[in-house]
């Protein structure tokens, strides 16, 4: 076969394979174009998850009549300054997006420059039509209809309208977070989903997009090193979610995904947040253009840092510093001294300068980070704040062999139950234990039918983003079996009518929000019963016996008694012990009495 040049339409379609995978990727290109055009307000409208149609309207500089056909031509761009590809500051510059999209859909542009008339152009699956006059406000509107409608082989790879919509929402969120100075609105099937005014503060924008409660629960990150700036908003250690989906990274104003972020965040919060809990944050790195290559991937969501270790280090230090300044202690790494502490008096650690732990600081975890908890408890001792509470119970019961876990004598650091057993001192991690009990109770209840529910006096409304509501709605029956009676309440809220009785007066808001995250992590295929450990962990995390909660002596004893009769209660759902015992002999050794 002889070599021949590919026809333009075919070249565009091949490029479309890279640039346009789904409605969300087309949407990303269009919104980026609007930003590049200096828009102050951007309106996005979607139909059927963006599959049937999507449009992006901006009030930017517009496109001149003569340039409309050029905009749809491959490798035609207004953004490459003097062929210096390294110096590109705009989001686009390949001149590929519009012709690629237009080769696999119907694309229509209406545009008007200030002081000129409006013009429109259409391109139907690669076939360009003539420029027409049109009445339109200054700026540009680009409509894309019937993506892949003529290419069944590509269309069949699209997912449900719901998932395509979720991907579109994610794109708009990320870009809106990157540019709090620009107003954004998003409409899906005629319904307003987002409405963000221009000139917002970054904190407000991020909180409005991730979780409104973040507004009161964040620290500000700001660090500069060698010409690189790290800024952003990060949640307090006590505010976290069940998935790492709410961690956003931006490099030189572009939303990017990089595994580096997850690891660095984990490192920075290691002492504060359990391994299966994830802080919520948006971090912005601004660095010299030569230090980062944003041109790695055609869809440009990946970056290549010249020195990833440096960036990682900056994120860890920036976050730690911000958390420190918020009055949190960054506790030292575990070391041999932790255990040796048992053998010394508790004295304030030398050179201790941190402020006392504020009363709002309470450890919250999903049953992980046992050591973190021990260290936290130590920190409380070292930080002068007495955190132990011993309550004289009326008629103290006597420890007996019938009760191997003993009789509760008090609570330490609102986390550990201290009990006296016949043969020694027992320390129980109340949260880990409770998590385990919830799992075992659920197993038992399910084998007898369903988990008992407690109807709420007042149904509770939990506001969540739409994809999370969709996921919960799809599992209504399964959740009911697990004792949680919920129903959809408008587009972005869930109404909770009943909760599992075993949870007591728990935190319904947090529970439902985390279940939304859990379901995202599970995907559609796995049943909730199949991951009962996960559900139980999430439920226990928001139940009334969580870490950080003060328990009465009868409550503590009830927990101990239940543990004694529950199978596997000696280990938490993650395999760590839920209680430890110091035998009398061990205690004597500690005091040198042997």
Least distance in Å: CB of 108 to Mg ion?
A: 16
Residue 34 sits in the site that holds ligand ADP (CB under 6 A)? yes
Comparing CB distances to Mg ion, the nearer of 93 and 310 is 93
Residue 58 sits in the site that holds ligand ADP (CB under 6 A)? yes
Report d(CA 417, CA 561) in Å as an integer: 13
* HSE-CB for 584 with a 13 A CA cutoff: 4
Comparing CB distances to ligand ADP, the nearer of 61 and 128 is 61
Least distance in Å: CB of 248 to ligand ADP?
A: 23
Comparing CB distances to ligand ADP, the nearer of 35 and 439 is 35
Considering only 92, 255, 298, 516, the residue that binds ligand ADP (CB under 6 A) is 92
Q: Is the dihedral of CA 496, 502, 505, 511 positive or negative?
A: negative
Residue 483 touches which member of Mg ion, ligand ADP, none, C-beta under 5-8 Å by kind: none
DSSP for 312-351, please give it: HHHHHHHHHHHHHHTT---PPPP-HHHHHGGGS---PPTT
Centre a 10 Å sphere on the Cβ of residue 156 and count the other Cβ atoms it contains: 8
Residues in a beta bridge with 417: 411, 428
DSSP for 76-99, please give it: --S--GGG-GGG--SS--SS-HHH
Comparing CB distances to Mg ion, the nearer of 141 and 240 is 141
Q: Which residue has the tokens 């391109």?
A: 123
Residue 78 sits in the site that holds ligand ADP (CB under 6 A)? yes
Considering only 39, 44, 56, 97, the residue that binds Mg ion (CB under 5 A) is 97
Residue 228 contacts residue 286 (beta carbons within 8 Å): yes
Considering only 20, 27, 29, 316, the residue that binds ligand ADP (CB under 6 A) is 29
Instruction: Single out the residue of 268, 284, 278, 274 nearest to residue 326, CA to CA.
Output: 268
According to DSSP, the β-strands at 53-58 and 132-133 are unpaired
Least distance in Å: CB of 8 to ligand ADP?
A: 14
Comparing CB distances to Mg ion, the nearer of 42 and 535 is 42
Report d(CA 544, CA 552) in Å as an integer: 12
Report d(CA 37, CA 59) in Å as an integer: 8
Least distance in Å: CB of 96 to Mg ion?
A: 8
Residue 514 contacts residue 241 (beta carbons within 8 Å): yes
Considering only 77, 136, 411, 569, the residue that binds ligand ADP (CB under 6 A) is 77
Among the listed ranges 58-66, 158-166, 327-335, 571-579, the one in contact with ligand ADP (CB under 6 A) is: 58-66
To 10 degrees, the CA torsion angle through 298, 304, 306, 308? 170
Among the listed ranges 87-95, 167-175, 312-320, 328-336, the one in contact with ligand ADP (CB under 6 A) is: 87-95
Comparing CB distances to Mg ion, the nearer of 97 and 256 is 97
DSSP state of 567: T
Among the listed ranges 73-81, 144-152, 172-180, 465-473, the one in contact with ligand ADP (CB under 6 A) is: 73-81
Number of residues that bind Mg ion (CB under 5 A): 3
Among the listed ranges 29-37, 265-273, 486-494, 513-521, the one in contact with Mg ion (CB under 5 A) is: 29-37
Least distance in Å: CB of 99 to ligand ADP?
A: 6
Least distance in Å: CB of 133 to ligand ADP?
A: 18
Using CB atoms, what's the residue nearest to Mg ion? 92
Least distance in Å: CB of 118 to ligand ADP?
A: 13
Report d(CA 105, CA 125) in Å as an integer: 5
Using CB atoms within 10 A of its CB, is residue 223 exposed (0-12), middle (13-18) or buried (19+)?
Answer: middle
Residue 514 touches which member of Mg ion, ligand ADP, none, C-beta under 5-8 Å by kind: none
Using CB atoms, what's the residue nearest to ligand ADP? 92
Residue 60 sits in the site that holds ligand ADP (CB under 6 A)? yes
Residue 573 sits in the site that holds ligand ADP (CB under 6 A)? no
Which run of H or of E encompasses 110? strand 106-112
Residue 93 sits in the site that holds ligand ADP (CB under 6 A)? yes
Residue 71 touches which member of Mg ion, ligand ADP, none, C-beta under 5-8 Å by kind: ligand ADP
Instruction: Single out the residue of 300, 195, 215 nearest to residue 254, CA to CA.
Output: 300
Comparing CB distances to ligand ADP, the nearer of 138 and 313 is 138
Report the side by side order of strands in the sheet with 254-256: 218-225, 228-235, 281-286, 247-251, 254-256
Residue 94 touches which member of Mg ion, ligand ADP, none, C-beta under 5-8 Å by kind: ligand ADP
List contacts with ligand ADP (CB under 6 A): 29, 33-34, 37, 58, 60-63, 71, 77-79, 92-98, 140
List contacts with Mg ion (CB under 5 A): 33, 92, 97
């Amino acid at each position: 076969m002889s070599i021949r040049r590919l026809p333009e339409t075919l070249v565009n379609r091949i490029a479309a394979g890279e640039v346009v995978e789904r409605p969300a990727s087309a949407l990303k290109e269009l919104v980026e174009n609007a930003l590049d055009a200096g828009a102050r307000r951007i309106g996005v409208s979607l139909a059927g998850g963006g599959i049937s149609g999507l449009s992006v309207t901006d009030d930017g500089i517009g496109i001149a009549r003569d340039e409309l056909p050029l905009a749809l031509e491959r490798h035609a761009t207004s953004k490459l300054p003097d062929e210096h590809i390294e110096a590109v500051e705009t989001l686009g510059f390949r001149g590929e997006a519009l012709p690629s999209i237009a080769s696999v859909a119907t694309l229509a542009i209406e545009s008007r420059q200030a002081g000129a008339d409006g013009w429109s152009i259409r391109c139907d699956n690669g076939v360009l039509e003539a420029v027409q006059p049109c009445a339109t406000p200054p700026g540009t509107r680009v409509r894309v209809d019937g993506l892949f409608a003529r290419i069944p082989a590509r269309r069949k790879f699209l997912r449900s309208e719901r998932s395509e919509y979720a991907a579109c929402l994610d794109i708009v969120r990320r870009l809106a977070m990157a540019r709090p100075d620009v107003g954004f609105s998003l409409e899906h099937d005629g319904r307003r989903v987002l409405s963000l005014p221009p000139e917002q503060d970054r904190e407000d924008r991020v909180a409005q997009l991730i979780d409104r409660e973040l507004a009161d629960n964040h620290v500000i990150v700001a660090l500069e090193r060698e010409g690189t700036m790290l800024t952003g908003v990060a949640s307090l250690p006590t505010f976290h979610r069940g998935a790492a989906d709410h961690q956003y990274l931006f490099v030189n104003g572009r939303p990017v995904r990089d595994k580096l972020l997850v690891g660095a965040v984990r490192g920075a919060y290691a002492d504060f947040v359990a391994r299966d809990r994830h802080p919520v944050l948006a971090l912005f790195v601004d660095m010299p253009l030569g230090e980062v290559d944003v041109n790695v991937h055609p869809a440009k969501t990946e970056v290549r840092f010249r020195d990833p270790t440096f960036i990682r280090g900056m994120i860890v230090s920036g976050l730690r510093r911000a958390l420190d300044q918020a009055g949190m202690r960054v506790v030292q790494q575990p070391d041999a001294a932790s255990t040796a502490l048992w053998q010394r008096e508790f004295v304030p650690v030398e050179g201790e300068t941190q402020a006392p732990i504020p009363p709002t600081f309470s450890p919250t975890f999903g049953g992980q980070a046992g050591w973190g908890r021990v260290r936290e408890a130590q920190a409380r001792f070292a930080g002068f704040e007495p955190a132990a509470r011993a309550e004289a119970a009326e008629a103290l019961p006597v420890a007996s062999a019938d009760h191997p876990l003993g009789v509760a004598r008090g609570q330490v650091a609102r986390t550990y139950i201290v009990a006296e057993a016949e043969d020694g001192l027992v320390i129980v991690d109340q949260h880990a234990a409770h998590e385990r009990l919830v799992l075992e109770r659920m197993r038992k209840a399910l084998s007898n039918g369903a988990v008992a529910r407690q109807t709420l006096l007042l149904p509770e409304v939990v506001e969540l983003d739409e994809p999370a509501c969709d996921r919960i709605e799809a599992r209504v029956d399964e959740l009911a079996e697990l004792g949680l009676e919920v129903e959809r309440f408008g587009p972005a809220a869930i109404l909770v009518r009943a909760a599992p009785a075993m949870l007591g007066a728990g935190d319904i808001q947090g529970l439902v929000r985390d279940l939304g995250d859990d379901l995202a992590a599970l995907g559609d295929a796995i049943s909730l019963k199949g991951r009962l450990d996960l559900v139980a962990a999430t439920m226990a995390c928001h139940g009334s016996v969580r870490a950080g909660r003060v328990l009465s002596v009868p409550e503590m004893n009830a927990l101990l008694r239940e543990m004694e009769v529950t199978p596997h209660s000696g280990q938490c759902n993650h395999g760590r012990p839920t209680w430890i015992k110091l035998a009398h002999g061990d205690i004597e050794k500690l005091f040198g009495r042997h």
